[in-house]
Amino acid sequence: MAIAALQSAINDSLHDLIDYEKGVRRSYDALREHCQSAGPIRQVAIIRQALSTSYCSPSEPLVATANNICMLIDTAFDMGAITRDLFKCIALLNGLSDKSYESIQSTISCALSDSTSESPYTTEPKSFGSSRTSRHS
């Protein structure tokens, strides 16, 4: 029963991480480890998805959309701490949605992918004109 509840609470793409023979605790630990190791780039993508969700669809109930947004935010926070710099990055990427800023978006995404907890991504808006980003050493 607990395994079924766990399975229904996660995205379909994560179902392979559930091991019915080892039980719910080991499955939960595997899911948590997988999600936390996805890093800041995945957190940014999830939060951007939540922030870009629109309530304008008459085909989907408002409550379902609100639940989806809350689930996305919970998922992002469950992956690890969302720092001030990570949140700045999310806001900046949302502001750079025009196609003319694709190279800057790509640079930021690459820097996020390379970041670690020992060398986290930080934002330097003044360097955006030259497509540079920075990480702490």
Closest CA to 109 of 133, 130, 85, 87: 133
Amino acid at 52: S
CA distance to 26, 34, 117, per residue, from 80 (Å): 19, 11, 10
- Model confidence pLDDT, tens digit, residues 56-105: 677 888 888 889 899 998 888 888 788 888 888 888 888 887 888 888 88
Considering its fold, how many domains does the chain have in total? 2
**31 and 53 share a domain?**
no
114 and 86 in a single domain? The answer is yes
- DSSP class per residue in 50-63: HHH--S--TTS-HH
Q: Which residues contact 17 (CB under 8 A, 6 or more apart)?
A: 27, 30, 31, 34
The Cα 100–Cα 69 span in angstroms is 28
98 and 42 within one domain: yes
Q: Is residue 98 domain-shared with residue 74, that is, in the same domain?
A: yes
Specify whether 111 is located in the same domain as 53: yes
Helix axes 24-37, 62-78, angle to 10 degrees: 80
Domain that holds residue 16: 1-37
Whether 15 and 76 share a structural domain: no
* 14-26 tens-digit pLDDT: 777 787 787 888 8
Residue 73, C-beta contacts closer than 8 angstroms, at least 6 positions apart: 46, 47, 50
Task: Label residue 126 by pLDDT band (50, 70, 90).
Answer: low
42 and 21 inside one domain:
no
Are 23 and 62 within one domain? Answer: no
